[in-house]
Amino acid sequence: GKSRSCSVVNLSTIPDRGVNECNIAMLGCRGSGKSALTVKFLTKRFISEYDPNLEDTYTSEEIVDQQPVLLKVMDTADQDGPVNCERYLNWANAFIVVYSIDNRRSFEACRLYLDTVSIHTKGVQQEYPVILLGNKLDMERYRQVSKSDGLSLASKYGCLFYEVSACLDFDSVQRVFHEAAREARRE
Ligand code: GDP
Ligand code: MG
């Protein structure tokens, strides 16, 4: 007989809809280590000198909880404080706000970023995971921000809190980025 044109869709040829994607914006004042953390996450290496004005977005295919995630990281490079925030507020679905534990001023600057993000997410009626991240844990001797100060600021804004170092172990840094992706999926 005549072969009929087949109207049955072969499901296996349809690309996965909703392949997990997560856009993470790195925020925080200049010098807190956003680029060093981003590079560490992407390459497992610590780069000590990174162009402070370079803002870029990087993509990495990650496996988080046995599931593939296309993780994009925007390493922002504000001159002083949150300006032109739309570029990341409208793009990101997770935020990592970084300070340096050996620099009180960098910690105070986090409030501005946390306020900016929380005002935005209230406006769009959607929750996005925010992680407050104390960097330069290797500088313990010069610590100016106690762990409990970090914790209490994080709890005030309802965000997660970690302390790491971009120049120590890779796993702790990776864990923070993966946690952001995990939380973004949950929202
Ligand atoms: P950004 O302006 O937030 O992107 O900061 P950078 O990543 O450019 O880092 C600013 C400075 O801090 C550079 O001199 C880095 O080498 C240094 N730095 C970054 N992360 C760490 C860290 O975990 N420990 C130490 N000791 N220095 C760091
Ligand atoms: Mg930078």
The predicted model gives 47-76 an average pLDDT of: 96
145 Cβ closer than 6 Å to some ligand 1 atom:
no
76 Cβ closer than 6 Å to some ligand 1 atom:
no
Q: pLDDT tens digits for 122-143?
A: 888 888 999 999 999 999 999 9
Closest ligand relative to 97 C-alpha: 1
Contacts of residue 135, defined as CB under 8 A and 6 or more positions apart, other chains included, come to 32, 33, 36, 37, 98, 99, 100, 101, 163, 164, 165, 166
Ligand 2: centre distance to CA 48 (Å)? 11
Among the atoms of ligand 1, which is closest to the Cα of residue 51? 8
Is this complex's ipTM strictly greater than 0.85? yes
35 Cβ closer than 6 Å to some ligand 1 atom:
yes
The rounded distance, in Å, linking the Cα atoms of 154 and 120 is: 17
Q: pLDDT tens digits for 138-171?
A: 999 999 999 999 999 999 999 999 999 999 999 9
187 token code pair: 């929202």
CB atoms within 10 A of CB 7: 5
Nearest CA to ligand 1 atom 22: 136
165 Cβ closer than 6 Å to some ligand 1 atom:
yes
Range in 7-21, 24-38, 83-97 the model is least confident about: 7-21
Q: What pTM value is reported for the model? A: 0.91
Length of the chain as a residue count:
187
